[in-house]
Structure 1
Amino acid sequence: MAYDILIVDDEADIRMQIAGILEDEGYQTREASNSSDALAAVANRQPSLMILDVWLANSEYDGLQILEIVRRDHPTLPVVMISGHGTFDMAVNATKKGAYDFISKPFKTDVLMLTIERALSEARLKHENESLRKLSPYAVLDDLVGKSAAIAEVRRGIDKVAQTDSRVLIAGPPGSGKGAVARVLHSRSLRKDGRFVVLTCASLTESTLEAALFGVEANADRRRQIGVLEEAHGGTLLLDEVADMDLATQQKIVRVLHSRRFQRIGGDNWVEVNTRVLATTSQDLTELIAAGRFREDLFYRLNVVPLQVPPLSERREDIPLLATYFMERSAAAKGRSPRALSSDALTALQGHDWPGNVWELANVVERLLLMAPGGPQDPVRADAVATAIGSAESTVSRWDRAPEVMGLPLREAREAFEREYLVFHLARFGGNISRTAEFVGMDRAALHRKLKGLGVAASNRVKQDVAD
């Protein structure tokens, strides 16, 4: 999706020349010849970038005055100043007032394009860094960490829909990586050069959610506030935890998704946008619809393509890769050397049920980096994992059936232990019989017979060949 660039110059041939150059490079352009037209164009929809001439004939304000107004009301909008009579002092003054750069006419095409590309790139990175801070540590990736069958299924869904403009509803338990899936969808889409904007619905009240979505028009007491629908024009908007929207706002979102236009709060102008909308939810929306807390028409508009993100307990074989990733990421963020995770530590991590999913794993690994006994060169051990998880909640350092088994005859106690041991490692390897057999040192056929003899349900063994 192309960027939207506003060209402000009083000379029609200059506007036409710049527009032709930009459109040949795939940009969308709008034009204005004076301050009133320029400010009206910004009010109709904030552009991605403004190219602004200093001297404007038949205009209420000159370019530097327009720059001051734009920087006051739209501080994130990059502005490139141009002039045929530019001086060093003028360029310094323009940059002090907030211009990204100053280019003298006649300009070279490659200089203009390089300046625009740098300005757009910096603005996009600043915006995306701010948006990604609202998501999990896992959401900064351009791919999903893991090799399990469960995450492979998610990847296949992404591959099918990423380069379409279809809306996607991403469901899964809290902390499972729904934001990461949304980020990957955007990074592989035709809109990847546009903005990825996140609205965390759960963090907003009923009164602030609508303003965050649609923006607020300026008046004598406040400057114009741009909403996320407008910010994401040409890119992707993620409605994170969409079930937390109130019903009145849901109704307005339905209308926006149908018409692709809206009015800012307190405004009369219609703002037209071309934004791809993704949504996440950790709640069952069909149950909320039945309870009258979520609009059915909004559900069907968002749920064009459903993607289900599995809990971490269903993709335990991804835990070593995820733990290593989080260790390296946390160490880099804190200026430390990453700690190696011993094989018994990784097994311990795989043994936990992870009710907080990927977020919980990220927090535990950071705790291990900071608190695990030993120096930077010493590997983290399983006992440190149990401590980091919390011994009262850990399934790593104890076996719930131990007191019961201690009262059994040896043969029955051995069978109980074998059953628990094999079920644990089956879960650890995602139900893969071949990998489980290799780890426990058994032939695959023998393992099948052993599981059957121990009464392990067939449902625990159906994935034997998925990852072979």
Structure 2
Amino acid sequence: MATTSKNSRTATNWIGEILIVDDEPDICAAVQDLLQDEGYTTRMASDTDSALAALAERMPSLVLLDIWLRNGEREGIDLLETIGTRFQGLPVVMISGHGSVRTAVDAMNLGAVDFLEKPFDSGLLLHVVKRSLETQHLRRENAALVNRTGTTDAIVGTSPAIRTLKNAIARVATTNSRVLITGEPGSGKETAARAIHAQSHRRNAPFVVMNAPRTSADRFEEELFGREDESGRILRVGLLEQAHGGTLFVDEVAEMSMDAQSWLLRALQNPSFLRVGGQTPVKVDVRVVASTSVDPEAYIRQDRLSASLYYRINVVPIRVPSLAERREDIPALAWHCMTQCARALGRPPRPIDEEAEARLQAYNWRGNVRQLRNVIERVLILAPDSEASPVRASMLPDDVLYEHGETGGGFGTDSIMSHPLKAAREQFERQYLSSQLARFGGNITRTAAFVGMERTSLHRKLRLLGISDEAGSKQEAP
């Protein structure tokens, strides 16, 4: 029968779980001790039945499989073929003291990632295990990068609001507590979740994303728990099992159906579950981080969010600020988006001149970072002139240049040419000062320093022009 590791995973860095399948107890014990000394979690099995039972219980990161088990020289090969059919994508390293070149070729053709002969050098074994897991990790990261095209991958900025966010992430990352991330659409909630994972002891394990709004209610149970057929063959590995040892990020948790919320609540209450159609309990170690763009307490009052689920996931709340709350970060963030987009498009990044930066800072980014990135990508593709020349304000989209509203930044001549000089100058001053005030997040002191006015004189001018400075008074720099 299958045997679990003699020491369970603690808060040290998780680097992988290895299933050792060998009918010689002494070899199993020696390999287990060697791997555990390197920080791996291990389980052991001695034959096909116990190995399949261990795999059904939970998919490991890698299998070390002896070719010659109790029932003869082909048992390991037959088991390898079964693993390839039932547990697709699971890396298997074959080991044998009786292998031939033909056996090794058969094993590689059936999907084994490597082949080791007994007695093997401990350093070589560790090298093969590490290399196989790194290859699997790179495949997983590549798939994740493809899915993340169009997103930012770092928390950029030095504003007080973003420093507060980074400090909160650093404090919570080293714990196993569940986290609920709130913030406006496009503000970077998934980026914050990835930062929590990257700074945690789970950083080497998977970070798995469940996009709740895109998961239909009738498929949610299978998506979360997986599915197997009557013979025990795994038809689908659920997201919980994929995230074993790592983090499951549930995006827009409040948009899930009530049935889906009950399944997620069940998973949070009990780390052991059954795949859809299965009979074998699967036990996982997963940290859950969730996000929402709505007011969760309002959704609870409207019976759209389960209060029980909310209090389960809202152990540590973290709020991601909108771009309006950190306008001073926009130049650095715009350049970060520029380098990302340029890399994706195979073009050199273009510098952004000061006036263009000022227009970007003054604009009201209702779509936050996601909208800013889209604008930068559009400019990079459509802007005229040499690729080496800076992006000028005139190259920005019209909706950024001529935004209407309280803090609109348009300076077109058509709107002032029909006015006398005094009225035209007053309209220009109103638009200019509104834009600068928005650019500096309502901070009167910084706005005054930039426009070259005394702070008290700016206050008087704003009142004279009918521009509210109440928000600015609340955001003064210390």
TM-score, structure 2 normalization? 0.89
- Taking the aligned partners of 1:313 and 1:177, their CA distance within structure 2 comes to 13
Task: Provide the secondary structure at the position in 2 that maps to 1:224.
Answer: strand
Q: 37, 59, 73: which one pairs with 1:46? A: 59
Task: Provide the secondary structure at the position in 1 that maps to 2:396.
Answer: helix
1:67 equivalent to 2:80? Answer yes
- Taking the aligned partners of 2:148 and 2:290, their CA distance within structure 1 comes to 13
1:373 equivalent to 2:384? Answer yes
Equivalent position of 2:4 in the other structure: none
Gaps of 5+ in 1: none
Residues 128 and 197 in structure 1, CA contact (< 8 A), matched pair in contact too? no
1:309 equivalent to 2:320? Answer yes
Equivalent position of 1:189 in the other structure: 200
- Taking the aligned partners of 2:108 and 2:134, their CA distance within structure 1 comes to 18
Give CA-to-partner distance per residue, 1:8-27, whole Å, 9 cap, x none.
Answer: 01111111001101111221
Shift of 1:401: 12
Residues 254 and 305 in structure 2, CA contact (< 8 A), matched pair in contact too? yes
Give CA-to-partner distance per residue, 1:219-241, whole Å, 9 cap, x none.
Answer: 36974311010111110000111
Equivalent position of 1:58 in the other structure: 71
Residues 48 and 79 in structure 2, CA contact (< 8 A), matched pair in contact too? yes
1:269 equivalent to 2:319? Answer no
- RMSD over aligned CA atoms reads 2.8
- Taking the aligned partners of 2:435 and 2:263, their CA distance within structure 1 comes to 49
1:258 equivalent to 2:244? Answer no
Gaps of 5+ in 2: 1-12
Task: Provide the secondary structure at the position in 2 that maps to 1:166.
Answer: coil
Q: 98, 103, 107: which one pairs with 2:120? A: 107
Report the residue type matching 1:296 in the other structure.
A
Give CA-to-partner distance per residue, 1:129-184, whole Å, 9 cap, x none.
Answer: 3335444644433xx11122222221121122111111111111211111100000
Task: Provide the secondary structure at the position in 2 that maps to 1:169.
Answer: strand
1:456 equivalent to 2:468? Answer yes
Equivalent position of 1:131 in the other structure: 144
Residues 157 and 307 in structure 1, CA contact (< 8 A), matched pair in contact too? yes
Equivalent position of 1:426 in the other structure: 437
Residues 52 and 80 in structure 1, CA contact (< 8 A), matched pair in contact too? yes
- Taking the aligned partners of 2:409 and 2:68, their CA distance within structure 1 comes to 74
Residues 67 and 79 in structure 1, CA contact (< 8 A), matched pair in contact too? yes
Equivalent position of 1:10 in the other structure: 23
1:345 equivalent to 2:356? Answer yes
Q: How does 1:28-427 map to 2 (within 5 A)?
A: 28-58=41-71, 62-135=75-148, 137-141=150-154, 144-219=155-230, 223-387=234-398, 398=410, 403=415, 410=422, 414=425, 417-427=428-438
Report the residue type matching 1:178 in the other structure.
K
Equivalent position of 2:3 in the other structure: none
Report the residue type matching 2:476 in the other structure.
Q
- Taking the aligned partners of 2:145 and 2:383, their CA distance within structure 1 comes to 28
Give CA-to-partner distance per residue, 1:53-76, whole Å, 9 cap, x none.
Answer: 111113796222212221222222
Shift of 1:443: 4.5
* 1:429–1:393 distance in 2 versus 1, CA, 3 Å: closer
* 1:136–1:284 distance in 2 versus 1, CA, 3 Å: farther
Shift of 1:85: 2.5
Residues 211 and 227 in structure 1, CA contact (< 8 A), matched pair in contact too? yes
Shift of 1:387: 4.5
Residues 139 and 181 in structure 1, CA contact (< 8 A), matched pair in contact too? no
Shift of 1:425: 1.8
Structure 1 residues 284-293 or 393-402, which shifts more? Answer: 393-402
Shift of 1:210: 1.4
Residues 403 and 410 in structure 2, CA contact (< 8 A), matched pair in contact too? no
Residues 363 and 409 in structure 2, CA contact (< 8 A), matched pair in contact too? no
Report the residue type matching 1:463 in the other structure.
Q
- Taking the aligned partners of 1:363 and 1:254, their CA distance within structure 2 comes to 36
- Taking the aligned partners of 1:155 and 1:137, their CA distance within structure 2 comes to 22
Give CA-to-partner distance per residue, 1:431-466, whole Å, 9 cap, x none.
Answer: 444443332223456545655665632322332325
Structure 1 runs of 4+ with >6 Å offset: 390-397
TM-score, structure 1 normalization? 0.91
- Taking the aligned partners of 2:234 and 2:74, their CA distance within structure 1 comes to 18
Report the residue type matching 2:471 in the other structure.
S
* 1:283–1:137 distance in 2 versus 1, CA, 3 Å: same
Residues 433 and 461 in structure 1, CA contact (< 8 A), matched pair in contact too? yes
- Taking the aligned partners of 1:97 and 1:123, their CA distance within structure 2 comes to 17
- Taking the aligned partners of 1:88 and 1:393, their CA distance within structure 2 comes to 74
* 1:436–1:205 distance in 2 versus 1, CA, 3 Å: same
Report the residue type matching 1:7 in the other structure.
I
Residues 78 and 100 in structure 1, CA contact (< 8 A), matched pair in contact too? yes
Report the residue type matching 1:262 in the other structure.
F
- Taking the aligned partners of 2:409 and 2:448, their CA distance within structure 1 comes to 24
Q: What percent of counterpart residues are identical?
A: 44
Report the residue type matching 2:77 in the other structure.
L
Shift of 1:46: 0.7
- Taking the aligned partners of 2:148 and 2:178, their CA distance within structure 1 comes to 19
Report the residue type matching 1:151 in the other structure.
I
- Taking the aligned partners of 1:387 and 1:61, their CA distance within structure 2 comes to 70
Structure 1 residues 114-123 or 290-299, which shifts more? Answer: 114-123
Equivalent position of 2:448 in the other structure: 437
Shift of 1:402: 8.2
* 1:27–1:221 distance in 2 versus 1, CA, 3 Å: closer
* 1:445–1:103 distance in 2 versus 1, CA, 3 Å: farther
Residues 132 and 140 in structure 1, CA contact (< 8 A), matched pair in contact too? no
